[in-house]
Structure 1
Amino acid sequence: MRLRNKPWAREKIAAHPQYVVPNPEEHKGRWDDVFGNHHPLYIEVGTGKGQFITEMAKAHPEINFIGIELYESVIVTALDRLIEADLPNLKLLNADAKNVADYFAKGDVDRVYLNFSDPWPKKRHEKRRLVHESFLKLYEAIMPEGGEIHFKTDNQGLFEYSLKSYSEYGLLLTYVSLDLHSSDFEGNIMTEYEEKFSAKGHRIYRSEAKFR
């Protein structure tokens, strides 16, 4: 993905700490204090421009959400969405997913969303895939027993890889769809990429897996 440089992005992010949480490691194990309640916490790793996580937070006020995005030039769009919506149950982190265990303690996060992650198709880049064993270890480190990973992609190869990775790690698959938009699944909220790819006729794959 080619990113347009936005030199003003860092300053805008810093100006809105009530939405993009600075120094998230300071809240490890204490995210209830940030949100002011004891609701379950769901995170999206690679939140992009924020359409999915914002709409989820609107639809589920009984859940706390955090969208994690590495690139400043991307997360500012998610920030604009959040400023407009002003949702008390949604925060953003401008952070690297490789460091999630620095930001969340065991049991902090009840569900992880992975939506249209970079497939990193070359074998030498396998460890960068967000469903690689090394990332599954990170998710397990911040979730309770029974914590869930919900995954969507239009990339068949990555989807097949994810199922294999889950199986080898010992996760329990509780839902698999090889064509989400032709299924009876209810309550699907689309990402920007999902809208784009499905409009082109791409099949959307979806899975749910649980730690045990």
Structure 2
Amino acid sequence: MCGLAALLLTGCGIRSTEVPTDFGAAPTRVGCSLSGSDEVGTRAGGEFAVQVYLVCTSQLVTVDRTVTLERRGTSDRVAVARELLAELSRKPSGAESDAGYSTDVARRTRVSGPRKGDPADALRLNTPPDDLSPYALAQIVCTFANSKVTAEDGDHVVLGGPGDDALRSYECSDAVKARPGLIPAPAETVG
């Protein structure tokens, strides 16, 4: 009986130590929320509010931004797509970075309108969509699909690359927003 009591009192074989240990504070989860967007201010002529999808804790989350649209002879749709893409490729602000936001869209990524023979709602990237990281493609698809100007069909956007690859209609689903690195944006080839 004494042997059993001694065994129970010794615990799991872990001996106490006199060496102080300090592993810091317990980890916390980043909230993915901004206390107040410092990006959206008063809107003058040519400025308007948009939402872009940034990455935060491995999911897509919308962030409000303000863009200026100048007419340069292109359709409004293509001009808005260019501004949205510029916002996606811009480094997150200090407040956004502090809240855990990041972007996977490279600054060199560009967008243009449809080529001859493409559907009118097509947008062409200078990089084939399949060559983008899953996060970058999901950010672009969801940001464009979320915009009433760049997407005619609420949750879908038609994208292609610079080559002759077939255009695809990409969907921004809830699953893609929740796990963009694991679940690719559903896509159907456009005829």
TM over 0.5: no
- TM-score normalised to structure 1 length: 0.27
**Bigger radius of gyration among the two:** 2
- Structure number with the bigger relative contact order (C-alpha 8 A, sep ≥ 6) is 1
- TM-score normalised to structure 2 length: 0.29
